[in-house]
A and B are shown apart, each in its own frame.
Chain A
Amino acid sequence: MFNRRHVLRAGFGGAAALGAAGLLPAWARTASDGNLGLPTLTGTTFNLDVGEFPVRIGGKAGRAVGVNGTLPAPLLRFREGEEITLNVTNRLKSDTSIHWHGLLVPFHMDGVPGVSFPGIAPGETFRYKFAVPQSGTYWYHSHSGLQEQQGHYGPLVIDPAGTDPVDYDREYVLVLSDWSFESPYRIFDKLKASAETYNFNQRTLGDFFADAGKDGFDAALADRAMWGGMRMSPRDLADVTGATYTYLINGHSTRDNWNGIFRPGERVRLRIINASAMTIFNFRLPGLPMTVVASDGLNVQPVETDEFQIGVAETYDVIVQPDAEKAYAVVAESIDRSGQAVATLGPRPGMRAEAPAMRPVPTLTMKDMAMDHGSHGMSEMEPAAGADADMSQSSHQMGHDAHAGHDMAGMHHEMGHDMSGMSDRGTMDAAVSHDHPGGPGVANMAMMPVSRLDEPGLGLDNVDHRVLTYADLRALERNPDRRPPDREIELHLTSNMHRYMWSFDGVKFSEVTDSIHLKEGERVRFKLVNDTMMPHPIHLHGMFFDLENGGGDHLPRKHTVIVKPGEKLAWIVSAEHVGDWAFHCHLLYHMHAGMMRVVSILPQGAADQTPHEGHHDMSMDAPMSGEAGSDMPHHDNHGGHH
């Protein structure tokens, strides 16, 4: 069997090497045709056509919008430091764009209409030209409308100029994505009409009786009263689910069974890219340990694990070494367990690995509301502390009594008080300020957000194998900029799920009047506080940030990080690349609903404009501690009627 890596290195496209089968788009080829990967384009000049084309997914015909007629778009492969030209022609009836996700391009080549360039009009060819000082696994996608959901995404690999510190015999790129036969605009309208449209994992009357049988009727009722009192659902894990999605690996559903092959004993590098619109995946190969060697394109110190959660837009490179002459399942399971994509890694083409059963649906806990924190002397919260941190797999362990339920429901009234009290005592470890507007778009505010970097992610607390956490990641190389931050910016991730409103600091992108200003050369800590009940993969364009995970001078450098529900995390960024850069939640419909900002890195010497009135996004001048609660915005949780 040929060594794919060497074929690619020799400059041949994978598709070309595969002969006639390579002329067909990825979706049309089966493993027996030798469909081992993706159509590949290599070199320094690329011609990309954006258009609409037919696809067949899971046996059903649909229409996709994407690049060069394949889903996913072709793998683009070039070398670190080379000057690259990409001619992108728009054959659609509407504007399009391509954003090079994770690439350190000049800002006007970043591909965000209205921020970095005007977009690509129908019939127009736009020439991107850049050289990037980096290597690794990245991807590209549309930043126009909701085209990303329709198939406008593809993988991008940059080979290092020097020696690759990662040793491997064979490699595959695995593009994870979510496909719907519904129009994405229709999906968005349905979410606005009823945010629970696609959630078929709600707790039912049957679950209530099951819980009552286990924990007692009172406890089960109190639990329901608590969630109901807050008008929230502990099963609100994903907005768009397997009810409309078919999950894909390299454009193949489980039924279409993407195939990769290996010779037993080989070191196989998997470059995993989550190119979904909305789906956070749990990724694993049951029975096969993975050694994580890169995250978001950049090398990390090798760390072995059995599973990881991958946020939308994140990438991980792992090495697996299958020894047995058998088919291994490659499993990408949706975070809400409403579906999965299974592919096969086997010693021969045409094998089908046994798909594992979907695991039980996780249930959110008090911790996801940033309320599970009894150790801070808040007497009202004590009962909740009994409901400990380890219950994410099951609501059955929610052992607090009816009393707790009432206290939780009534807590919004107390929180202002408690928090100002706490600032007096200086116990600011967990409490945060909410120095931003409330209003209809902000349904709740994290009272006690905590660091959750050492947690594996929603629903993976109680699995019986190792799961990667952000705390496990260490950059392979020493961080290039080790200066302490000059200042801090705190941003809250805010939402009202009921109205399907998403924002930063309660301000939707459509209401923003200014960007977040950084000065060239300065180093700034961003603190992100998740006030919502959902994990958000937050992406900053144009630069890597150093995730503060206790890694000393080897902090993992990333372009996208999941902020878990009820979490507060921080990263530091060096403002090196002058320009206007998009900054947003990479869940497509959250961004579309307004969870987006622009970060402007102003050249040194440029006069910073005075922030306008109504400019709420920068609490940069507010100290991070010691001021919580006093500026609690009006938060009318009782609707203000009657």
Chain B
Amino acid sequence: MKQAVTLRALALAMGALSLIPAALAEEDEKPWSMADEVWGEAAMNASRKAVVDNHGGTPTSYFQAERFELQAFDDEDVLLLDGNAWFGNDENKLWLKTELEYLPDEGEFEEAEVQALWSHAISPYFDFQAGLRQDFEPEGRTHLVAGFQGLAPYLFETDTAAFLSDDGDLTARAEVEYELLLSQRLILQPRAELGFSAQDIPELETGSGVTSLDAGLRLRYEIKREFAPYIGVEWQKRFGDTADYIEAAGGASEGTAFVIGLRAWY
């Protein structure tokens, strides 16, 4: 736990560091100052700072339920929330991600995790992201996170990240999405997520190598850009030792679900 606190402090420090160049610039000479002689330096200083900051430095925020859906498998239903939120400017953002899987029949969470990341623009289309992930279910674990998120050529949205847990386990995920416009508002979205593990983690029913593939196809209708209900299918498969662990515990290593959900953002 102490380690986790230290890491959080580190993440905050990284965010703070990114503000230093702006702070230094304020110490700099005035970029222009002719109006100071007419209206006074004090009055101009404040408005000058405001006009500069307000033209390119304005922070914005974003909240998104990327997938808020009911997955109806043969044997069980899963309620999923895959959400994002960020706050920041073009270069640096605090980016929060969450994935919650709730089993309504059993009244409990199957998986619950939250990530808090510093997201830094490193190129026109990609951000480097680093920070922490806290799992609450299936068991409490803290991970260091490093990854890249962005838009790949040919308009594929990608999100890849590696996770180092406080037990020293290394895992990774790669997500890719594409959007096919059937009309201006009717959009078909293929999506795939691949899981990896560098080692066996028996207590999490995870074997080394490629652990999982979740592939989905969702058809949404954007009533507004910010509000789009959808239907779709989701196919999930676990591989190798991961599949063996699950099957040994009496579970299925493969399943297909019908999904109905909502994609919304603000």
A contact set with B: CB distance below 8 Å = 95, 107-108, 112-119, 145, 188-190, 192-194, 196-198, 200-206, 225, 228-231, 409, 439-443, 496, 498-499, 501, 503, 508-515, 578-580, 591-594, 596, 598, 600, 609, 612, 636-642
Contacts and interface: CB of A to CB of B under 8 A. Distances in A.
Interface string B115-131: 00000011111101000
A112 B155 contact: no
A642 B148 contact: yes
Contact of A600 (B34, B60, B121): B34
A636 B123 contact: yes
A598 B32 contact: yes
Contacts of B153: 228-231, 409, 638
B35 A115 contact: yes
Interface string B51-73: 11111111011100000000000
Given A499-B124, A593-B56, A205 B90 contact: no
B106 interface: no
Nearest to B154: A228
Interface majority SS (helix, strand, loop, mixed), chain B:
mixed
Contacts of B225: 190, 194, 196-198
Given A188-B60, A204-B182, A591-B55, A115 B32 contact: yes
B126 A204 contact: no
A114 B51 contact: yes
B148 to A, nearest CB: 4
Nearest to B147: A641
Interface stretch (B41-49, B163-171, B204-212, B248-256): B41-49
A396 B95 CA distance: 41
Contact of A202 (B46, B121, B184): B184
Contact of B47 (A114, A193, A196, A594): A114
A612 B44 contact: no
What are the 3 closest A-B residue pairs judged by CB atoms, nearest first?
A594-B56, A114-B51, A508-B56
B92 to A, nearest CB: 11
A201 B150 CA distance: 24
Contact of B52 (A202, A440, A510): A510
Contacts of B180: 205
Given A201-B184, A231-B151, A443-B124, A508 B34 contact: no
B38 to A, nearest CB: 4
Interface in B69-87: none
Contacts of A225: 154
Contacts of A512: 31, 52
A609 B55 CA distance: 24
A210 to B, nearest CB: 13
A640 B123 contact: yes
A609 B31 CA distance: 10
Nearest to A143: B51
B124 A114 contact: no
Interface string B181-201: 111110000000000000000
B108 interface: no
Contacts of B57: 508, 510-511, 594
Given A113-B47, A510-B52, A641-B148, A498 B124 contact: yes
Indicate the member of B60, B123, B153, B180 with the most A CB atoms within 10 Å: B123
Nearest to A592: B55
Contact of A117 (B39, B61, B122, B265): B39
A576 to B, nearest CB: 15
Contacts of B47: 95, 113-114, 117-119
A641 B124 contact: no
Contact of B124 (A205, A229, A496, A578): A496
A498 B90 CA distance: 11
B161 to A, nearest CB: 11
B160 interface: yes
Given A231-B151, A641-B148, A442 B124 contact: yes
A580 B32 contact: yes
Nearest to B156: A228
A506 to B, nearest CB: 11
Contacts of B49: 114
Which of B34, B124, B154 is most buried by chain A, counting CB atoms within 10 A of its CB? B124
Nearest to B126: A639
A580 B181 CA distance: 48
Contacts of B128: 641
Nearest to B22: A510
Contacts of A592: 54-55, 58
A513 B25 CA distance: 7
B265 to A, nearest CB: 6
Given A118-B47, A440-B123, A639-B152, A189 B60 contact: yes
A580 B35 contact: yes
A200 B125 contact: no
A440 B91 contact: yes
B12 interface: no
Given A440-B91, A598-B32, A593 B154 contact: no
